Structure 1
Amino acid sequence: MEHSFAPLQNDLIVRAAWGKKVERPPIWVMRQAGRYLPEYHEAKGNKDFFECCRTPEIASTLTLQPIERYAGLIDAAIIFSDILVIPQAMGMTVEMVDKKGPHFPNPLTSPDDGQYREVMDRHCDVSKELDYVYKAITMTRTKLNGRVPLIGFCGAPWTLFCYMTEGGGTKLFKESKTWIYKYPEETKALLQKIAELCVEYLALQVKAGAQLIQVFDSWAGELSPAAFKKFSEPYLAYISQHLPGRLKEYGLEPVPMIVFPKGAWYSLDSVSNLGYNVVGLDWLHDPAEAVKVIGDRPVVIQGNADPGVLYGSHAAITEAVKNMVDGFGWHERKSGWICNLGHGITPFVNPEDLKFFFQEVHRLTK
């Protein structure tokens, strides 16, 4: 062991992710460290978003803010970082534009574009390029002092590919769709390269101290079922199949792996066969239906309240929690569910309303 960390005082999410029966469902939420918290803006100051990601002290402080604010209510920290650090490590420029989001000044336009060749030919050393992430993880794990486990993550190859070709967020997906339907082989070559980097990146996060990992396929739902089978699923499978072996080569034990194919509701059945321990659901899934689809496979469900319910009344929040508790069959099963939102917390949520959500999960799962 390269680092020595305090023993876990709360290992609920780790046990639940391995499919064990637990005393209550663990809870964490995506984007729990972020802009809805007043203390986030204080700690961030006027620093650029990526500067915060690249400064281990700040990334670590931001990761811990929800753990401190909601002490005793949440069961995991997730490292403050961004999925786009991989395209940055691959040599692409990414800026965070205020009120607009991430922007690539020079996206990949076609296989004949010199930049595509450059990205494909360039040797990318994620151990060196993303060292700041590992430093932030080790520092955070030390500061957590065993309070809760720390989650590491990466973006899925398809989602990263979308950003690299679109140049930022989009509603049309014109460029990424042009790539997959006009240049399928070149697309697959790039997706494979990204998948290989994701395996190494995740393994190094675990080496640095991450105790679970999540793969975010935020744009999965933009693909048709047939296209998902070609351009997302094989690369999600590559990560789940190769990460355990890579960890073993580093002398590390396996960690639970979570996959979150947002919007691709049709893929639940096949994604449940990819080897991930946990499948994250967005709010478009009906909990009871999802339980039926998974059946007796050893797959844990994570999710899936609509983040928008946090703008609502306390009665609406209680109802959303009750729908999950009943739908996921918590009281009968006592396993198979990690409570979360169906996507990240949206801006302008009142932190007290999120606290009420957590409290209701505790109350209704007793």
Structure 2
Amino acid sequence: MSTLKNDRFLRALNREPVDATPIWVMRQAGRYLPEYRATRARAGGFMDLCRNAELACEVTLQPLERFDLDAAILFSDILTIPDAMGLDLEFQAGEGPVFHKPLRTEADVAALPKLDVNRDLDYVMNAVRTIRSALGGRVPLIGFSGSPWTLATYMIEGAGSKEYPFAKGMLYGQPDVMHALLDQLADTVADYLNAQILAGAQAVQIFDTWGGALPFAQYDEFSLRSMKRVVSQLIREHDGRKVPVILFTKGGGAWLEAMADADADALGLDWSCDLGEARARVGHKVALQGNLDPGTLFGSDEAVAREARRTLDKFGPNPGHVFNLGHGISQFANADRVKTLVDTVHDYSAELHAKGGN
């Protein structure tokens, strides 16, 4: 078993006692940091940065040099799988990701290639190995993927969307075609996450960014079902340790009980959930991760500290909480506020944990 100098994050995911609540931040390596912007400029483009293991490692470690974070997360993107499938991904300035070859027909779906993730996405595994080595056991490394439903929406729409006319058109009009796509993506996501685990990721998160765009019945059938298919295939122990799995559905507060039965170890919560109520609803089935409003970081240091303490109080001095934002950090966030957040979480939660919980 490899030695970890700080294993709070993994202990919390396993609902074991910790001396202080661990914290990491979704998109903690990103545009709010000037050093990230400088490295990205050197790389020449976003996907160029993702494909360069040394530079991906550099930006992964940048937030850890500034803040006392309890985990690192692989620097990559959720759209690596559809990019490798040949959908011609481009990141357009001011527009975000665009696929120039979207899936619109049954024939398009049937023509998708089956990926060999270690060959077709070797740059991701190279980055995982490089980062894990550079960390030297400092903190755990998180691997990740987009959920099958979230990947499918981008692949079908060709870009981000507010109404998902093509994806929902396929879901309601050709559900068998949508299921075929989701099943293929689920198996590929499982292969992809397992490859990251074997390369050195010590926990993995599935980002279901657009699951909240679905009604209740369709969420269960088209998003949660495919995530369960992923989880059922994952390596759950490696290098002498359990490998925890986190499910994060943005807008998923209505489905926490169903998500808690998906055999994951933790659920990520967005800021629309009450953390105390969420804990009462899922009981001791899973750990919870979250869920501070990312907009809090636009406030003062006093406001950030106050809201961090409020969030910690909601969960209480109980095992099984990983502090995080309710979604990714904004590119306009003030890095000084992030330091205030991290330090407050550690200092205040240490007082709570000293009191003990149940």
Fold in common (TM above 0.5):
yes
Using the TM superposition, give the Cα deviation of residue 224 of structure 1 relative to its aligned residue in structure 2, in angstroms.
0.5
Residues 213 and 257, structure 1, Cα contact 8 Å, conserved in 2: yes
CA RMSD of aligned residues (A): 1.5
Using the TM superposition, give the Cα deviation of residue 60 of structure 1 relative to its aligned residue in structure 2, in angstroms.
0.7
Residue aligning to 1:317: 304
Using the TM superposition, give the Cα deviation of residue 147 of structure 1 relative to its aligned residue in structure 2, in angstroms.
0.7
State the alpha-carbon separation in 2 of the partners of residues 308 and 135 from structure 1: 34
Q: Secondary structure at the match of 2:323?
A: strand
Residues 148 and 226, structure 2, Cα contact 8 Å, conserved in 1: yes
Residues 22 and 346, structure 2, Cα contact 8 Å, conserved in 1: no
Q: Bigger shift: 41-50 or 51-60? A: 41-50
State the alpha-carbon separation in 1 of the partners of residues 330 and 346 from structure 2: 22
State the alpha-carbon separation in 2 of the partners of residues 97 and 29 from structure 1: 25
State the alpha-carbon separation in 2 of the partners of residues 9 and 282 from structure 1: 29
Q: Secondary structure at the match of 1:22?
A: coil
Map 1:81-160 to 2 at 5 A. Answer: 81-111=76-106, 114-119=107-112, 122-160=113-151
State the alpha-carbon separation in 2 of the partners of residues 123 and 231 from structure 1: 21
State the alpha-carbon separation in 2 of the partners of residues 364 and 275 from structure 1: 31
Matched positions, count = 349
Using the TM superposition, give the Cα deviation of residue 244 of structure 1 relative to its aligned residue in structure 2, in angstroms.
2.8
Using the TM superposition, give the Cα deviation of residue 264 of structure 1 relative to its aligned residue in structure 2, in angstroms.
1.7
Identity of aligned residues (%): 42
Q: Runs of 4+ in structure 1 displaced over 6 angstroms?
A: none
Residues 33 and 40, structure 1, Cα contact 8 Å, conserved in 2: yes
- What letter is aligned with 1:322? R
- What letter is aligned with 1:52? L
TM-score (norm 2): 0.94
Using the TM superposition, give the Cα deviation of residue 212 of structure 1 relative to its aligned residue in structure 2, in angstroms.
0.5
Residue 169 in structure 1 maps to residue 164 in structure 2: no
Residue aligning to 2:315: 328
Using the TM superposition, give the Cα deviation of residue 242 of structure 1 relative to its aligned residue in structure 2, in angstroms.
1.2
Map 1:214-225 to 2 at 5 A. Answer: 214-225=205-216
5+ unaligned residues in a row in structure 1: which ranges? none
Residues 143 and 193, structure 2, Cα contact 8 Å, conserved in 1: yes
- The CA deviation string for residues 273-304 of structure 1, in whole angstroms up to 9 with x for no partner, is 1010010000000011101111232x100000
Using the TM superposition, give the Cα deviation of residue 124 of structure 1 relative to its aligned residue in structure 2, in angstroms.
1.5
Q: Secondary structure at the match of 2:324?
A: strand
- What letter is aligned with 2:9? I
Q: Secondary structure at the match of 1:68?
A: helix
Residue aligning to 1:54: 51
Q: Secondary structure at the match of 2:227?
A: helix
Residue aligning to 1:290: 278
State the alpha-carbon separation in 1 of the partners of residues 110 and 142 from structure 2: 33
Residue 33 in structure 1 maps to residue 29 in structure 2: yes
TM-score (norm 1): 0.92
- What letter is aligned with 1:268? L
Residue of structure 2 aligned with 1:349, choices 325, 333, 341: 333
Residues 20 and 347, structure 2, Cα contact 8 Å, conserved in 1: no
Residue aligning to 2:41: 45
5+ unaligned residues in a row in structure 2: which ranges? 351-358
Residue 364 in structure 1 maps to residue 348 in structure 2: yes
Residues 207 and 252, structure 1, Cα contact 8 Å, conserved in 2: no
Residue of structure 1 aligned with 2:8, choices 6, 12, 25: 12
Residues 16 and 26, structure 1, Cα contact 8 Å, conserved in 2: yes
- The CA deviation string for residues 137-191 of structure 1, in whole angstroms up to 9 with x for no partner, is 1111111111111000000000000000111111111111111000101000100
Residues 109 and 177, structure 2, Cα contact 8 Å, conserved in 1: no
State the alpha-carbon separation in 2 of the partners of residues 80 and 234 from structure 1: 27
State the alpha-carbon separation in 2 of the partners of residues 143 and 124 from structure 1: 28
Map 1:294-309 to 2 at 5 A. Answer: 294-297=282-285, 299-309=286-296
